[in-house]
Amino acid sequence: MSPTSRPRPQRTIGRPVAVSGRGYWSGTVVEVTLLPAPADTGLVFVRGDLVPPVTIPARLASRVDAVQRTVLAHGAAEVQMVEHVLSALAALGVDNCRVVTDAAELPGLDGSSAGFVAAIDAVGVVDAGAAECRPLVIDETVRVEAGGSWIEAGPARFAGLSIDYELDYGPGPIGRQRLDVDITPAAYRTELAAARTFLTMEEAQRLQAAGLGRDVSLHDLVVFGADGPVDNPLRWPDECVRHKVLDAVGDLALAGRPLVAHVRGYRSGHRLNAALVEALLAADDRRHRALA
């Protein structure tokens, strides 16, 4: 049996744990509770503030297009900015979890996934029964591109997900950055989890002019002016590309199964990441129909 197909049990978290904070775009204070879930539940969001509560699977079919964040919906019910908690759950190997929220937008915290990682680590990750995890193993390279940006997934270099990402903002304080990392729980905790959301000053001003993020300060995320980050020092010189990889891990979790693949990307964002998931699921469906 190849190392990329070695079975393992499905996993969930050890007990309930709560995380609270303010949503970036809405300014609403929200509490999120992560709950253990049985095998084959997957990662799901629950709008506990609605009557009756609405469950929204963290799957590509639930995704709706949005600016600079990942949004999922079921009917009229939405959950916004889900990529950070999905990234933490996927990277730490949690296959099944109910994420119950009392508002439409998840908390932005400090712009990273570190708060969610701390919560998961506080309760631990445990087996969710005897059912085996069914990873999506990529055997052939699949690529999507748009407007000079691209992202592709090919055969894995180890029994899991690895990402090689290049960010390119051209001349300026962000510039060009590249990171190549195996997404193991240990590497995620030390190399990615604390990397924060970043914007240029122009992007921040445009969002606030549209009525979004009016309660967000320069200390809640990293805003770049002409000379670099404004009133908020970087945690790594290449923190921006680290956050892009963090986001990609969360977006790729919309496949609904752990990816065993090596992913390469250039200037990819939420939309293109989702397009790759769509292409991978379509390729996997074609492969299974050909074998039937």
Q: What is the CATH number of the domain that holds 14?
A: 3.30.230.20
Q: Record the pTM.
A: 0.94
Residues 255 and 257: their CA atoms lie apart, in Å, by 5
DSSP string across 198-216: EEEHHHHHHHHHTT-STT-
Res. 205 pLDDT band, cuts 50 70 90: confident
Mean pLDDT of 53-67: 95
* Residue 170 tokens, joined: 């051209």
Spacing of C-alpha 1 from chain mean position: 30
Residue 269 has pLDDT above 90, yes or no: yes
Percentage of the chain beyond pLDDT 90 is 81
Which carries the bigger pLDDT value, residue 211 or residue 165?
165
Q: Which two tokens stand for residue 174?
A: 């962000």
Mean pLDDT of 137-149: 97
Q: What pLDDT is stored for residue 212 in this prediction?
A: 59
- The burial class, CB within 10 Å (0-12 / 13-18 / 19+), for 33 is middle
pLDDT at 272 over 50: yes
Report the alpha-carbon distance of residue 155 to residue 3 in Å, rounded: 12
Q: Do β-strands 136-137 and 259-266 pair in parallel, antiparallel, or remain unpaired?
A: parallel
The Cα 233–Cα 62 span in angstroms is 36
Whether the per-residue pLDDT at 1 is higher than 50: the answer is: no
| Whole-number pLDDT of residue 13 | 98
End-to-end, the C-alpha distance of the chain in Å comes to 22
Average pLDDT of the chain? 93
Asked whether the predicted pLDDT for residue 215 surpasses 80, the reply is no
Is the per-residue pLDDT at 4 higher than 80?
no
What pLDDT score was predicted for residue 2?
Answer: 40
The answer to whether the beta carbons of residues 136 and 255 sit under 8 Å apart is: yes
Task: Provide the residue type at 103 as one letter.
Answer: A
Number of domains in the chain: 1
- In this predicted structure, the answer to whether residue 208 has a pLDDT above a threshold of 80 is no
Q: How far is 249 from 243, CA to CA, in rounded Å? A: 10
Question: pLDDT of 240-249, one tens digit each?
Answer: 999 999 999 9
- Tell me, what's the pLDDT at 217? 67
- Confidence tier at 104 by pLDDT (50, 70, 90): very high
Report the SS3 class of residue 40: coil
**Which pLDDT band holds residue 27 (cuts at 50, 70, 90)?**
confident
Catalytic sites, residue numbers: 270
CA–CA distance, 222 with 209 (Å, rounded to integer):
18
Which of the residue ranges 59-63, 127-131, 139-143, 164-168 would you say has the lowest mean pLDDT?
A: 127-131
pLDDT at 41: 97
Give me the pLDDT at residue 248, please.
98
Q: How many CA atoms lie within 13 A of 95 on its CB side?
A: 21
Residue 131, helix vs strand vs coil: strand
Other C-beta atoms within 10 Å of 179: how many? 20
Length, in residues, of the chain? 292
Q: How far apart are CA 66 and CA 64, in angstroms?
A: 6
Strand partners, 198: 222
